Structure 1
Amino acid sequence: MITIRALEAARGPFRLHVPELAIGRGLTLLTGRNGSGKSTLLNILSTAWLPDRGGIDYDGLSLAESRPILRSRIGFLPSGLELHEDMTAEKFLRYMGELKGIYDQEPARTLLEEMDLTSLRRRRIRELSQGQRQKLALAQALLGQPAYLFLDEPLTFLDSGERRQVVSWLGRYALRRHVVVSSHELNEWEPAESILWLNEGGVLFHGPAEEWGRDLPLSVWTGTVNESEWADLSQELVMGWRQVPGGREVRVMAPEPPASGFVPADPTREDAYFIRRYVLRESRTKGE
């Protein structure tokens, strides 16, 4: 269990205030708007940054007292990680492994294979595509099979097949470990067991993924509308639509059907996020 107590941190305009939080084993999906504190939290959990106040324990080991030991058990993929472009892919992983005290070459080769980069192992990083660089950056975080893995938008630049492959792999990896992943694409992370929602540096939701879409203040409705009906819909309640013969198939959030022919739909994780954000914004607007 990762236990956070009275945590406060400020990095420029980004502030984080977490009175109490316990993150268990498994895959935790971290979500929130840009500037909500996601990257700040991941940087602190990875020990790249230290909090201004408060403490963190990792299965009983204190960040304040056991940082060197904890760093040997942590893997981290920060946002916008810069790689050594003159190194080959294999040399980069071996170099990163040595920084973690791993001198065996086999872990680097295994990760290159798992990331489908074996054929590129002797290519210099500057010659790799953005997607290949992202997979290499993810591989360095996995060196040593860390017990605590923190990933900031790990699917950036990956195509749809690669994204599914990485999500599935991380879901299996998290079975006996702590894995925290930040993402705006909630529906992609089906293996996630819990969801952590940050807003303006504070925790608004943390719990099992199956509870994220329950007891929502608005329902989800789907239906087909013509262009005239489309113009009458409140656009801020529309969560998605696609063109179909005769009009548009629309997905909306509302307390009741917005028009005839609409039927209820089970909310996806992203639907739940849109609803929670909308209700929060409305409540704050009315409170001003």
Structure 2
Amino acid sequence: MLELQNVVKQYGKNVAAVDDITLRLDTGVVGLIGHNGAGKTTLMQMIATLTRPTSGRIVFDGVDIHARPDSMRARLGYLPQDFGVYPNLSALEFMQYFAALKGVRDPARITRLLELVNLHEQARRPASTFSGGMLRRLGIAQALLNDPAILVVDEPTAGLDPEERLRFRNLLAELGQSKLVIISTHIVSDVESIADRLAILRSGRLVACDTPEAILRRARGHVWSATVDHADYARLRPGMHILHAQRQGEHMLLRIAHPSAPCGDARLVEPSLEEALMAQKYAVQEAA
């Protein structure tokens, strides 16, 4: 089990990139959701022992990972957002190089991992010829070389086409059956179908950690659909949390987060997960 205990990462006197986060995570896929600058990457770098908390502790299986970082690194797989490769190396040579760095001496494991990420037929191609999706899959393969108990993946589908995104999500879902997989993203669709839990960060603070089903359940009764003319839209917009607005001829089709009917012909609708997260964001803002 991975435990974060009142973790703070502060830069300077007044900037807390991560602000007093307490969290317990076990096997499965956890989506770390938040806008750019919410603290996701900083938190993942601390879990990966690349930077230390200003205060608080991160504990894995009872061991403080910053007091004994080597014990964590031996059981960790990490794919950063900016994953670089040596362009003149083939995928096979790249994997052999990282296997040597990690002390993995089983050539058959390299073959199995390249098959797992569907790169075995391109194993001898230079990495410089790979697409963005192929490079991300190669990154996952190197992260799995030491058979880690925790896999940390930062913004895994950035720049990928829809087919590669689907393949990548399916791979992470499969890995989450036996490992703790932490996926950082600001794109809700990356995790809505595979995450067991969603941890939501806002301005460095953890505002919620729950199952997608529970988040959707709380949003029901708070998301509305309405069709209004442009004059009513101009009137509603300043005081309403409009999730989506689409022009339809002389009217606007709106999706609105609000605790009660925002206008006369509004009707309740089933929220998407993204809408549920936005509705929760506005509820938190109003409570504050």
Structure 1 residue aligned with 2:2: 2
Distance 2:131 2:178 in 1: 32
**Native 8 Å contact 1:6 1:19 kept in 2:** yes
Aligned match of 1:73: 75
In 1, Cα distance between equivalents of 2:256 and 2:233 = 11
Match of 1:250 in 2: 254
Partner of 1:266 in structure 2? 270
Question: Secondary structure at the residue paired with 2:106?
Answer: coil
Q: Deviations over 1:35-63 (max 9, x none)?
A: 11110110111112222332221122321
Q: Tell me how far apart the structure 1 counterparts of residues 92 and 232 of structure 2 sit (CA, whole Å).
A: 57
Q: Distance in 2 between matches of 1:260 and 1:208?
A: 33
User: Which stretch of the first structure deviates more once superposed, 95-104 or 249-258?
Assistant: 249-258
RMSD: 2.6
> 1:225 Cα deviation (Å)?
4.3
- In the other structure, the counterpart of 2:282 is 278
Residue 69 of structure 1, CA deviation? 2.4
Q: Distance in 2 between matches of 1:164 and 1:57?
A: 32
Shift of the 132–6 alpha-carbon distance from structure 1 to 2, 3 Å rule, reads same
CA distance in 1, matches of 2:149, 2:263: 51
Give the counterpart letter for 2:216 in structure 1. Answer: G
Q: What is the one-letter code of the residue matched to 2:53?
A: P
Aligned counterpart, 2:91: 89
Q: Structure 2 counterpart of 1:182, which letter? A: S
Cα deviation for residue 98 of structure 1 reads: 2.0
2:52–2:66: 8 Å Cα contact kept in structure 1?
A: no
Q: Which amino acid aligns with 2:243?
A: M
Q: Any residues of structure 2 matched to 1:132-151 within 5 Å, and which?
A: 132-151=134-153
Give the structure-2-normalised TM-score.
Answer: 0.86
Give how far 1:248 is off.
4.9
Q: State the TM-score, normalizing by the size of structure 1.
A: 0.86
Q: What is the letter of the counterpart of residue 268 of structure 1?
A: S
Change (3 A) 1:55 1:126: same
Preserved CA contact (<8 Å) 1:8 1:18: yes
**8 A Cα contact 1:147 1:178, kept in partner:** yes
C-alpha deviations, 1:169-209, integer Å up to 9, x for none? 22222123211111112233212111111122221112333
Q: Whole-Å Cα distance in 2 between the matches of residues 17 and 238 of structure 1?
A: 29
SS of the residue corresponding to residue 85 of structure 1 reads coil
Gap runs ≥5 in structure 1: none
How far residue 252 of structure 1 moved from its aligned partner, in angstroms, is 2.0
Instruction: Provide the residue aligned with 2:215 in structure 1.
Output: 212
- Aligned partner of 2:51 in structure 1 is 49
* Residue 196 of structure 1: aligned partner: 199
Aligned-residue sequence identity (percent) comes to 27
Q: 1:95 to 1:26 in 2, by over 3 A?
A: same
- Going from structure 1 to structure 2, the CA distance change for 1:99 and 1:220 (only over 3 Å counts) comes to same
**Residues 256 and 60 (structure 1), Cα distance of their counterparts in 2 relative to 1, 3 Å cut:** same
Query: Offset of 1:222 from its aligned partner?
Result: 2.3
Unmatched runs of 5 consecutive residues or more in structure 2: none
Residues in 2 aligned to 1:192 and 1:118: alpha-carbon distance in whole angstroms = 28
1 CA distance for matches of 2:190 and 2:24? 24
Q: In structure 2, what residue type is equivalent to 1:270? A: E
Partner Cα separation in structure 1 for residue 260 and residue 18 of structure 2 = 37
Instruction: Say how many residue pairs are matched.
Output: 284
